[in-house]
């Protein structure tokens, strides 16, 4: 049962991280927000990125690319949280 819980937590955090990474890539390439898929990814990832707004400056301008820092902060947070959760769950296993 515990292994199933560990796998579910791991899978959920990996999906969240993949969604945030996709958002970062789409913002770097300046994807058209009017596109249905791009709009869905941006709106869905907003749920996980919004709590981190205001922690850092809004964006960094590198040549012609604008890189938003908020999704990167959210990504780092979810990576650390996934690691901590997986280690905590592993510590409770009997093996």
The pLDDT score that the predictor gives to residue 94 is 64
Assigned token pair, 29: 């390439």
* C-alpha radius of gyration, the chain, whole number: 16
Q: What is the pTM of this model?
A: 0.83
Residue 54, sorted as left (phi over 0), alpha (psi -120 to 50) or beta, turns out to be: left
The pLDDT score that the predictor gives to residue 68 is 83
- Which residues form the domain of 57? 2-91
Tens of pLDDT, residue by residue over 30-46, are 888 999 999 999 999 99
The pLDDT score that the predictor gives to residue 59 is 80
The pLDDT score that the predictor gives to residue 30 is 83
The pLDDT score that the predictor gives to residue 95 is 59
Total number of domains constituting the chain: 1
The pLDDT score that the predictor gives to residue 63 is 79
Name the stretches of the chain with pLDDT < 50. Answer: none
């Amino acid at each position: 049962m515990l292994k199933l819980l560990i796998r579910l937590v791991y899978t959920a955090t990996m999906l969240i991280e993949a969604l945030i990474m996709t958002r970062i890539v789409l913002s770097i390439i300046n994807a058209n927000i009017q596109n249905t898929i791009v709009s869905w990814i941006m709106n869905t990832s907003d749920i996980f990125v919004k709590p981190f707004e205001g922690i850092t400056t809004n964006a960094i301008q590198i040549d012609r690319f604008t890189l938003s820092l908020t999704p990167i902060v959210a990504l780092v947070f979810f990576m650390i949280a996934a690691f901590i959760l997986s280690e905590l769950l592993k510590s409770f296993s009997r093996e």
